[in-house]
Copies of this chain bind each other. A is one copy, B any other.
């Protein structure tokens, strides 16, 4: 009952049109929307009324130009296609729209060049940036970060605020689980060397293994994908462990498929644990036991903190926000039989 763009959908309704129709000055219209308190209640009401009738919609570009607040943030991720990001994007969207912000999704397509380029392109349009699993170097990230408020995900760049998962605890739980099942040695299938999470996980595994007196070994690195996991099976075969911890779920799934193809049964012959708990983890057979990351919460947290920084609350909080993980037990782990 307000939308009647019969024909003249050409020139958009401006603040001036509303001002004229309501018999007030343009600035008053502006106030009526931005600072309702600073304007007479009736006047405000009338203005809103007229605006609605006219179908007035503020021009965000003009607002942005004038206030230099674009109400947009960028979410840069290394690969939209990676299911890891689905829930994360959802979370980011949620938090952003709550604050009336819009998110510009940028996809690095696994390339640091593409990443830098798209970052450059969106930078001037946004108030802040959330960078998920960047492919760029720490120094490049710092260059970006000094231009706009930035927050990194799953990575620890000295001086930049970040949101990460509690890898040590997660790994610890996984190792305990394996220990309870009687496993004596655990092989870690490593992901990209540039990945901060990879380092954190392997380190944590070594420590936990040491404490719990389990042998640990590391193979890889492999690409963080299903084919990456599948490709490493051969190397595993030489010296088949009874348990493996994979860099992430995708690698774990590839691994399981490769093992199956080689006639090795999971979990009877070897137990497999992944990381992240992406949707596919519960769809595969056997269901994948995994160290679940609070994907959606990560997105929410990142955006909320970014907003805090934008609004001048937090400064460069050196400390990383660390989010809890939990072990989701499915069917890919079982009692050791060797």
Residues of A within 8 A of B (CB): 3, 5, 9, 12, 57-62, 64-65, 70, 80-83, 86-87, 89-90, 93, 97, 100, 102-107, 109, 118, 120-125, 143, 146-147, 226, 253, 257, 279-280, 283-285
Q: Are A107 and B124 in contact (CB under 8 A)?
A: no
Chain copies in the assembled complex: 2
> Are A104 and B104 neighbours in the complex by a CB distance under 8 Å?
yes
Q: How far is A83 from B283 in the complex, measured between Cα atoms in Å?
A: 13
Question: Which residue of chain B has the shortest Cβ distance to A125 in the bound complex?
Answer: B60
Considering the complex, give the chain B residue whose CB is closest to the CB of A89: B80
CB distance from A325 to the nearest CB of B (A): 20
Which residue of the partner chain B has the closest CB to A122? B102
B107, A90: Cβ atoms closer than 8 Å: yes
List, in ascending order, chain B residues with CB within 8 A of A284's CB: 283-285
Who on chain B is nearest to A87 by CB? B81
Check B285–A125 contact: CB distance below 8 A. Answer: no
Residues of chain B with a CB closer than 8 A to A107's CB: 89-90, 93
Q: CA–CA, A58 to B123, complex, Å?
A: 11
> Is B57 a contact of A65 with CB atoms below 8 Å?
no
Residue in B9, B83, B226 whose beta carbon sits within 8 Å of that of A83 in the complex:
B83
**Inter-chain contact A146/B283, CB cutoff 8 Å:** no
* Chain B min CB distance to A276 (Å): 14
Contact in complex: B86, A102 (CB < 8 Å)? no
**Interchain CA distance A284-B70 in the complex, whole Å:** 44
Shortest C-beta distance, A299 to chain B (Å), equals: 10
Contact between chains at B5 and A147 (CB < 8 Å): yes
In the bound complex, do residue A83 and residue B279 qualify as a contact, i.e. CB atoms below 8 Å apart?
Answer: yes
Contacts of A283 in B (CB 8 A): 226, 253, 257, 280, 283-284
The distance from the CB of A182 to the nearest CB of chain B, in whole angstroms, is 26
Roughly how many angstroms separate A279 CA and B147 CA in the complex, as a whole number? 37
5 contacts between A and B (CB under 8 A): A58-B124, A59-B124, A81-B90, A100-B121, A280-B283
Chain B min CB distance to A251 (Å): 12
**Contacting residues, chain B, for A226 (C-beta < 8 A):** 283
The answer to whether A9 and B103 touch across the interface, beta carbons within 8 angstroms, is no
CB distance from A85 to the nearest CB of B (A): 9
Shortest A323–chain B CB gap in Å is: 19
